[in-house]
Amino acid sequence: MIEISFGKLVLLALIALIVLGPEKLPGAARTAGALLRRMRNGWESVRAEVERELEVEEIRRAAREAAKQAEAVQEQAGAVQQQVMEGTRQVREPVETAVAMMKSADPVVAKDESPADPVDPHQATLPSGEPASGRTEPAHD
């Protein structure tokens, strides 16, 4: 802004006193002061508005960057999901093939039937003739 030193201010006051006279000088000073206040207030409001616009633009820029980062993370998550899906497909296919082969080879498994007579663990014996429970004497319940 305009720099006015004390010497320049005194010179302006003397010129105004000569031009306006002592009767009109106080009114002119009040008017000049009011005009100067209006200019400063106007300048401050313009400056504040520019700062607000800059802040809004900064927020918009940050939002755009955050959106780009979110898109990148979403793309990475999609790629990982595709890899997992491919891995499960690669594992599922051989398992399904093996299950299908087992069902076709064993009719009991294909029908999901349980054995006709369940084995009592106390009565089962190992191929060597020993009891399967690990006891050598008969079990007493």
pTM: 0.41
Q: Is 131 exposed, middle or buried (0-12, 13-18, 19+ CB in 10 A)?
A: middle
- Output the pLDDT for position 109: 47
Domain extents in the chain: 20-103
Per-residue pLDDT of the chain (141 residues; tens, 9 = 90+): 567 788 887 888 888 888 888 888 888 889 988 998 999 999 999 999 999 999 999 999 999 999 999 999 999 999 999 999 998 888 888 888 888 888 887 555 445 555 555 555 555 555 565 655 555 555 554
Helix H, strand E, coil C: the string for 76-101 is HHHHHHHHHHHHHHHHHHHHHHHHHH
CA 54 to chain centre: 24
| CA–CA separation, 111 and 103 (whole Å) | 8
